Copies of this chain bind each other. A is one copy, B any other.
């Protein structure tokens, strides 16, 4: 698979992450993450399944879902809840203060860092004395490019 430098960088980072943490950088894990890195658009689990299967070697759902779960748990991919789809994380910094933006027209995804968002969530929490352990924000619309 031909990939851009940034993609192979990210894959290397993932590999190093595995080494550091004594997880295995196995074939299904590598293939799933590579695929998501190579196409920066949301892919459903069964799309991934299809794209990784050849006529001879059919991959099965659990193989894909396990790899997805592994990378998701470790912050390398995100699930887009309102689409049942997955994308490779493009930042790997924030993971609290971010939201996902999906362009309805070109289908591209970006992660927006939103300090003010997390700030406003923090504020409301303080008022209501609730504790937040997880949050997702997903925005749909049209991106800069599609917009002009």
Give the copy number: 2
Residues of B within 8 A of A124 (CB): 112, 114, 116-117
Residues of B within 8 A of A117 (CB): 117, 120-121, 124
Given the interface pairs A112-B128, A130-B147, the reply to whether A121 lies near B139 with Cβ below 8 Å is yes
- Which size bracket describes the interface of A in this complex? 20 to 34
Residues of B within 8 A of A138 (CB): 81, 135-137
Residues of B within 8 A of A128 (CB): 112, 144
A144 smallest CB distance to B (angstroms): 5
A6 touches B (CB below 8 Å): no
Interface string of A123-148 (1 = CB under 8 A from B): 11100111111111111111110010
18 A-B pairs besides A119-B120, A128-B144, A136-B138 with CB distance below 8 A are A81-B138, A101-B132, A112-B124, A112-B128, A114-B121, A114-B124, A116-B116, A117-B120, A125-B141, A129-B144, A130-B141, A130-B142, A131-B141, A132-B140, A134-B141, A135-B137, A135-B138, A136-B136
